[in-house]
Amino acid sequence: MAAPSPGPREVLAPSPEAGCRPATSTSGRRGLLWRLRDKQARLGLFEIGPGHELHQLTCMMQAGLWAATQVSMDHPPTGPPTEEDFSEVLTQVHEGFELGTLAGPAFAWLRHSLGLAEGDYQAALGPGGPYLQFLSTSKSKASFFLSHDQRFFLKTQRRREVRALLAHLPRYVQHLQRHPHSLLARLLGVHSLRVARGKKKFFIIMQSVFYPAGRISERYDIKGCEVSRWVEPAPEGSPLVLVLKDLNFQGKTIDLGPQRSWLLHQMELDTAFLRELNVLDYSLLMAFQHLHEDERGPGSSLIFRTARSVRGVQSPEEPGSQNRRLLPDSPNALHILDGPEQRYFLGLVDLSTVYGLRKRLEHLWKTLRYPGRTFSTVSPARYARRLCQWVEAHTE
């Protein structure tokens, strides 16, 4: 791969501008931004603007990611990542902070293979507009952000979670090569941020499962269990759109029609892969969008195409063994399945929790604490089997 030399490196980074770049000041632009902000408020999203406690942090992230992406634009990948690419660490020094890029060449190749232009990636994550914050129903202490166009999702991670992700990265890439239409979330980058001489913070970037979000009506985070899997819905008329959980989904089904058999098989393939990695506690994200009359059925305005999630990969396997499907001609097609009346957004996320000593002890404690009830901390084999059974029981 034509990329910077492997191993830890430290460079002085260029900067697009000092601080976050303001939007162009024209009446048309102001009107567009006002309408966008009003829509975001109704969706429960909040701009991280001046005065927000996270504004300075996100401005650093934006400036750092702009410079980090510029490196991959100046040194584009020319082939699949090598062992050195997976272990490379690049540290770029900015005024007041440092941003680290872990396995940068490997992620640059992955983004390229997904058909994602680096210029678009840089524009969405750089200082072109404020990040968005939303209220998460997750019990973790992680922070969650969206790029201003809502296309990319950023989440802070613990150091041990980052170690697990990077250790599994070569096999993750291989899995996407073998199964181009996998439901696994598409990881696009792993970074660290250190302010002055403070402690490093780590964060990941992935393609948002819930994109485009304009017409989504319901969102769920499913783990296939019952303990701590209820979220109090937002009051009627509230602007907040919460991600609900398993118990909120009781009495509902996913009507996929002929797509159901594909989904069940892909769930088996993806959860078997995660089981091999000794991973648990991942979630199936789901969202619903009602299809308009002219969007339904074979005569609709939707154009279907056969595509790969990882392009340019030559595989000796037949398409049937790769479990490919017809993808809708829509943004984020890999996470979209259309049923007779609903469009469904589906993706497996949170792929970094390993069933080590900490989780084994947690399993023993929960077994005593919740006798006869189902909870998330179980062996990877049981976790995978149970989530697949949940999908089978709730689809038709």
The reply to whether 52 and 201 lie within a common domain is yes
Q: Given this model, what pLDDT does residue 181 score?
A: 97
227/218 Cα distance (integer angstroms):
21
CATH code, 339: 3.30.810.10
In a domain, 318, yes or no: no
Residues 386 and 285 in one domain: yes
How does pLDDT run across 86-128, given as a tens digit for each residue? 999 999 999 999 999 999 999 999 999 999 999 999 999 999 8
368 in the same domain as 255: yes
Residue 32 domain flag:
no
206 vs 11, higher pLDDT? 206
Least confident of 44-58, 65-79, 158-172: 44-58
Structural domain of residue 124, as residue ranges? 44-207
Side-chain-side CA neighbours of 384 within 13 Å: the count stands at: 20
**Judgement on whether residues 223 and 142 belong to the same structural domain of the protein:** no
Rounded-to-integer distance, Cα 140 and Cα 157, Å: 10
pLDDT-based confidence at residue 241 (cuts at 50, 70, 90): confident
CATH, residue 48: 3.30.800.10
* Helices 104-113/159-178 angle, 10° precision: 40
Residues 157 and 287 occupy one common structural domain = no
Looking at the domain assignment, is residue 309 inside a domain? no
Q: With a cut of 90, say whether residue 19 has pLDDT above it.
A: no
Whether residues 286 and 170 share a domain: the answer is: no
How many Å apart are CA 257 and CA 343, to the nearest integer? Answer: 12
Q: What is the pLDDT of residues 197-236, one digit of tens each?
A: 899 999 999 999 999 998 999 999 999 999 999 999 988 8
| Same domain (yes/no): 253, 198 | no
- My answer on whether 226 and 368 are in the same domain is yes
> How far apart are the C-alpha atoms of 169 and 285, rounded to whole Å?
21
Structurally, the chain folds into a number of domains equal to 2
- CB distance 257 to 377 below 8 Å: no
- Strand pairing partners for 285? 221, 347
Residues 60 and 130 in one domain: yes
Q: Which amino acid is at 168?
A: H
Same domain, 116 and 230: no
In angstroms, the CA 220 to CA 19 distance is: 36
Quote the DSSP letter at residue 81.
-
Q: Is residue 367 part of a domain?
A: yes
Considering the entire predicted model, what is its pTM?
A: 0.87
324 domain residue, yes or no? no
